[in-house]
């Protein structure tokens, strides 16, 4: 007499992973997410490995987690996966300050963001 099971939010041929509290602005993170959208996962992993952006390592971990979720939780074939969606959202905004000249005070904002990566098993084209 438990609760009814919730339906899946995504399709049967998809898996996703979310990383929260990434210490970068959403604008900078979106530049990295744009690099991997609609690409096969092997190519996306290679681009993230050799990217010079600092946050690319965290995005790579999220992509690897999405691949592992697809393989272990949903039984999808890793060789046929593509990055279906990679989108960025805002998160916490730390507010700090710095004394300035003539008794003034400057606000410094330290933004956090989150990234959601969804992988999909590509249909075979005959």
Annotation: CATH topology of 14-121: Ribosomal Protein L22; Chain A (3.90.470)
Crossing angle for the helix pair 26-36 and 41-49, to the nearest 10 degrees: 130
Q: Which of 6, 13, 45, 25 is nearest to 94 (CA)?
A: 25
Closest CA to 81 of 94, 97, 65, 101: 65
Residue 32 clears pLDDT 60, i.e. is over it? yes
> pLDDT band at residue 6, thresholds of 50, 70 and 90?
confident
Among 7-21, 51-65, 112-126, name the most confident range. 51-65
- The full set of domain ranges for the chain reads 14-121
Instruction: Count the neighbouring beta carbons within 10 Å of the beta carbon of residue 92.
Output: 12
Q: Which tokens hold the place of 69?
A: 């979720």
Q: Please give the mean pLDDT across all residues of the chain.
A: 94
Write down the pTM of the prediction: 0.90
- The residue whose two tokens read 């272990």 is 72
| Phi (first) and psi of residue 7, to 5 degrees | -70, 155
Could you tell me if 21 and 91 are in contact, meaning their C-beta atoms sit under 8 angstroms apart? yes
């Amino acid at each position: 007499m438990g609760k009814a099971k919730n339906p899946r939010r995504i399709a049967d041929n998809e898996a996703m992973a979310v990383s929260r509290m990434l210490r970068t602005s959403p604008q900078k993170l979106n530049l990295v997410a744009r690099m991997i959208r609609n690409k096969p996962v092997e190519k996306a992993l290679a681009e993230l490995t050799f990217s010079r952006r600092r946050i690319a390592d965290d995005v790579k971990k999220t992509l690897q987690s999405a691949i592992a979720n697809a393989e272990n939780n949903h039984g999808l074939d890793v060789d046929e996966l593509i990055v279906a969606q990679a989108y960025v959202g805002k998160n916490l905004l730390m507010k700090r300050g710095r004394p300035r000249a003539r008794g003034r005070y400057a606000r410094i904002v330290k933004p956090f963001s989150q990234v959601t990566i969804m992988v999909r098993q590509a249909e075979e084209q005959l």
